[in-house]
């Protein structure tokens, strides 16, 4: 069945369960709330997002304090360059309790976690939230994460994706291991569930051995929504095969439009309906009552609050490369880029975007929280809605992952100033149409792969 392209943007709020937003100096901003260790902080933001009818509250993750720069956590800790990352399960549970319709997404690593654990976590969240769970599938980024999970170094790029392929295959089978109508709960007869409809996997693969079934029955969405944000060739192929939502990081509309076209072709080549998969670029939004106010805010976040060492620390972190031996004025050469093993595509993207301008480490570090992963939309609500509309209408995206300068003010401003402008243009909803996240996204509920004539383990679910 063909899915028509929605005439409404998909809106995702990009959240960090941390002392900072993606802007590493944000903890110093006067109206940044300091209570990020209190569950009410997350509940308040979730309610704001639901008031604005966002599709999804999404949390990123990293499994280590930044430690690549100078082989030490000292600068990250000293300058508050994201030394804190809370586990996301409890936070999403709290957000679920405070809302009714908002989707709830978290990042879990296929490199350092186990499929049974991840399948169980998201199935549980899907039940408790009434069908609002989403999993961002990442392969993780650097050696500091590896070293917290009994491994010396982050494994090689394509091996990580080999493992991710087997991982997600097992997770989706576990989610399907209880058929939808397995539980009858017949108190009279004493029969709780039909064992014929609860399936073991007996999976034996290269990376995992999983007997199954899952300890959680099939969930309201059938399968929680799958998010993927890989930018490499392997990452894009993986996303084309598995993702419902694809997060991208392109610095310009031209790059985003090209990426959009290429990725939709990959989705079609994977045998899926291109418009059933949403491409959502990350965008940094800074909104003000006037353009002047927005620009002043931008200058504060980019120039005044960030310590250069905090930027370098985070740059080392995403590239998995220790820049401690370099001066800020060193030129970033092609050889240097080739030696980077983390998110290499991000550095290449900035270099392409700058064209002939020399790329020094200072420039790269300053772009770390901005150009690397998306454009910056700065201005009044109307100006921002205009830009977002242009991207959407020109098929450069299906919606956005909106990054905040600070919490909770950024999303409060966005809902107050940008959402009404998008609604007026018919680009954002003013009420939720469905109950589950899949329904609100207009995505089909996947059929259970085991609900077939045969009760064998299905191949290639
Ligand atoms: C919007 C967005 C959010 C991301 N969030 C995370 C994250 O939370 N954790 C993570 O390890 N990587 C995150 N990434 C990075 C990608 O998931 C992916 O790991 C990275 O691009 C490396 O994969 P690649 O080599 O296929 O590009 C994010 C990327 C984008 C564009």
The annotation status of 157 as a binding-site residue, yes or no, is yes
Backbone angles phi, psi at 322, to 5 degrees: -85, 110
Q: Which of 368, 386, 405 is the last residue of a domain?
A: 368
| Confidence tier at 368 by pLDDT (50, 70, 90) | low
Cα–Cα distance for residue pair 381/45, rounded to 1 Å = 19
Residue 161 tokens read as 């994706």
Is the pLDDT score of 394 beyond 90?
yes
- Give the total number of structural domains in the chain: 2
The answer on 423 and 380 residing in a single domain is yes
What integer pLDDT is reported at residue 461 of this predicted model?
41
Q: Domain of 380: which CATH number?
A: 3.20.20.30
Q: Which of 10-24, 35-49, 123-137, 354-368 has the least mean pLDDT?
A: 354-368
Is the pLDDT score of 308 beyond 70?
yes
Average pLDDT score over residue span 148-169: 93
Share of the chain above pLDDT 70, in %: 93
Q: Tell me which residue has its CA closest to atom 27 in ligand 1.
A: 231
Query: Rounded to whole angstroms, what are the CA distances from 396 to 81, 164, 291, 346, 390?
Result: 32, 28, 25, 19, 8
What integer pLDDT is reported at residue 177 of this predicted model?
98
Q: Closest ligand 1 atom to the C-alpha of 249? A: 31
Q: Tell me which residue has its CA closest to atom 28 in ligand 1.
A: 229
Instruction: Quote the ligand 1 centre to 456 CA distance (angstroms).
Output: 35
204: which residues sit within 8 A by CB, 6+ positions away? Answer: none
The annotation status of 321 as a binding-site residue, yes or no, is no
Cα–Cα distance for residue pair 142/150, rounded to 1 Å = 13
Residue 376: Cβ within 10 Å count: 17
Q: Is residue 222 part of a domain?
A: yes
Ligand 1, CB cutoff 6 Å, lining residues: 60-62, 107, 138-141, 157, 229-232, 234-235, 247-249, 282, 343, 345, 373, 401
Q: Which of 341, 368, 395 is the last residue of a domain?
A: 368
Is the pLDDT score of 373 beyond 60?
yes
The annotation status of 124 as a binding-site residue, yes or no, is no
The answer on 85 and 33 residing in a single domain is yes
* Sole residue written with tokens 């099939």: 218
Instruction: Quote the ligand 1 centre to 245 CA distance (angstroms).
Output: 13
The answer on 71 and 185 residing in a single domain is yes
Provide the Cα torsion 324, 328, 332, 337; round to 10°: 30
Q: Is residue 220 part of a domain?
A: yes
Q: Is residue 104 part of a domain?
A: yes
What integer pLDDT is reported at residue 2 of this predicted model?
58
The answer on 351 and 277 residing in a single domain is no
The pTM of this model reads 0.94
Full residue range of the structural domain in which residue 412 is found:
10-291+376-454
Q: Is residue 148 part of a domain?
A: yes
The answer on 140 and 234 residing in a single domain is yes
The answer on 119 and 263 residing in a single domain is yes
- Which of 229, 317, 375 best tests ligand 1's pocket when mutated (most atoms within 8 Å of CB)? 229
Q: Is residue 385 part of a domain?
A: yes
The answer on 221 and 127 residing in a single domain is yes
Q: At what angle do helices 233-242 and 157-175 cross, to 10 degrees?
A: 10
What integer pLDDT is reported at residue 314 of this predicted model?
85
């Amino acid at each position: 069945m063909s899915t028509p392209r929605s005439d409404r943007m998909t809106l995702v709020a990009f959240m960090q369960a941390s002392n900072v937003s993606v802007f590493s100096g944000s903890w110093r901003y006067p109206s940044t709330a300091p209570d990020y260790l209190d569950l009410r902080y997350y509940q308040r933001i979730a309610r704001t997002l639901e008031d604005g009818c966002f599709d999804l509250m999404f949390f990123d993750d990293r499994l280590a304090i930044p430690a690549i720069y100078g082989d030490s956590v000292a600068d990250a800790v000293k300058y508050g360059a994201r030394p804190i990352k809370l586990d996301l399960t409890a936070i999403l549970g709290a957000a679920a309790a405070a809302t009714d319709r908002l989707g709830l997404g978290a990042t879990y690593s296929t490199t350092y976690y186990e499929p049974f654990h991840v399948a169980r976590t998201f199935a549980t969240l899907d039940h408790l939230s009434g069908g609002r769970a989403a999993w961002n599938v990442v392969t993780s980024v650097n050696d500091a994460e590896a070293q917290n999970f009994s491994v010396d170094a982050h494994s090689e790029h394509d091996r990580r994706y080999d493992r991710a392929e087997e991982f997600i295959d097992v997770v989706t089978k576990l989610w399907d291991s209880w058929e939808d109508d397995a539980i009858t709960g017949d108190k009279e007869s004493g029969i709780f569930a039909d064992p014929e409809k609860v399936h073991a996997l007996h999976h034996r693969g290269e990376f995992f051995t999983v007997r199954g079934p899952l300890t959680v029955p099939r969930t309201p969405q059938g399968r929680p929504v799958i998010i993927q944000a890989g930018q490499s060739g392997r990452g894009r192929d993986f996303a084309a095969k598995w993702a419902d939502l694809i997060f991208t990081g392109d610095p310009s509309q031209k790059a985003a439009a090209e990426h959009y076209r290429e990725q939709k072709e990959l989705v079609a080549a994977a045998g899926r309906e291109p418009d059933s998969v949403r491409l959502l670029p990350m965008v940094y939004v800074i909104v003000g009552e006037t353009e002047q106010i927005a620009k002043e805010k931008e200058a504060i976040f980019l120039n005044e609050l960030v310590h250069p060492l905090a930027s370098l620390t985070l740059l080392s972190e995403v590239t998995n490369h220790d820049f401690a031996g370099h001066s800020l004025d060193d030129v970033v050469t092609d050889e240097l880029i080739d030696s980077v093993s983390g998110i290499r595509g991000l550095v290449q993207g900035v270099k392409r975007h700058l064209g002939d301008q020399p790329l020094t480490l200072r420039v790269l570090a300053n772009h770390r929280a901005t150009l690397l992963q998306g454009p910056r939309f700065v201005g009044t609500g109307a100006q921002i809605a205009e830009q977002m509309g242009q991207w959407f209408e020109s098929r450069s995206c299906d919606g956005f992952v909106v990054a905040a300068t600070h919490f909770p003010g950024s999303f409060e401003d966005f809902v107050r100033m940008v959402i009404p402008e998008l609604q007026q243009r018919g680009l954002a909803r003013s009420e939720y149409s469905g109950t589950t996240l899949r329904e609100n996204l207009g995505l089909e509920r996947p059929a259970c792969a085991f609900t077939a004539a045969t009760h064998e383990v299905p191949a290639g679910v």
